[in-house]
Structure 1
């Protein structure tokens, strides 16, 4: 009887919608990104998330505000960063190069995003080892200059 009660509690409209969404999204995700690639995509998403967090903190520290206009302009950029690996995967399939473009593009995006989030963390005053900060020195300089121009424009 308790088993049937558990089934009744599990069969809710919300669970039905979630199962339907999963049944639709999962094959689309597999088609766009390929199989066995979840880990690398999680790394990319994690880097993008950290870039957002560190970028917000750096903006608050440097110009004492968090420009929502600048932040909102990052949304299409994020979607673009998530679409590029899918495009690379589809091109890999068309050209029969199993993963060459996908992994090249995805690792390139991770590297780019790592540079950005590390520079943002440094600008926010978070403890970034000197050796790491030196690796992204040009990114720190570019971000600082852009922040100054944005601050002067207000």
Structure 2
């Protein structure tokens, strides 16, 4: 009986729409980013989300800018960050360098985003271990200077 209930719930219209969406999106995703690369892309997306959260908090605390203004200004940057690994993957395919550019670009973006989110967390007053804060000191300084210039301008 439970088997029949499972089949009944599996054949629900919403599941049909989800399966159709996956059937369309999945090949496009694999074409753009390659197979077996979802884990590193999840890491990148997670770092970008944390960068948004910490950036909004730092903006509220130090820049006194509206969080929605900060967030809307980050959308083009985020789309660019998500497009770069796809471009690198396509270049890898053209140049027959399996994953060389893709992983190099993606790890570079993760490193850059890690620096940014750590500096934002520090500027927001969140506890960041001193050793890590020292690693991103130049990013913290650059963000603070940019915030001061925005206040003056």
TM-score for both structures, normalised by structure 2: 0.92
CA distance in 1, matches of 2:132, 2:3: 55
Question: Is the 2:56–2:70 Cα contact (8 Å) retained in structure 1?
Answer: no
Aligned to 1:13: 13
Query: Is there any run of 5+ residues in structure 2 with no aligned partner, and where?
Result: none
Deviations 1:61-98 (CA, angstroms, capped at 9, x unpaired): 11344343332111011011011001100100000001
CA RMSD, Structure 1 to Structure 2 (Å): 1.5
Number of equivalences: 153
CA distance in 1, matches of 2:33, 2:44: 13
Aligned to 2:22: 22
Structure 1 residue 124 and structure 2 residue 124: aligned?
yes
Aligned to 2:71: 71
Deviations 1:93-138 (CA, angstroms, capped at 9, x unpaired): 0000011100110010001000000000100111111121111111
CA distance in 2, matches of 1:98, 1:124: 40
Query: Is there any run of 5+ residues in structure 1 with no aligned partner, and where?
Result: none
Question: Is the 2:54–2:120 Cα contact (8 Å) retained in structure 1?
Answer: yes
Alpha-carbon shift at residue 17 of structure 1 (Å): 1.0
Instruction: Map 1:1-154; keep pairs closer than 5 Å.
Output: 1-153=1-153
TM-score for both structures, normalised by structure 1: 0.92
CA distance in 2, matches of 1:121, 1:137: 12
Q: Which runs of 4+ in 1 moved over 6 A?
A: none
Alpha-carbon shift at residue 148 of structure 1 (Å): 1.7
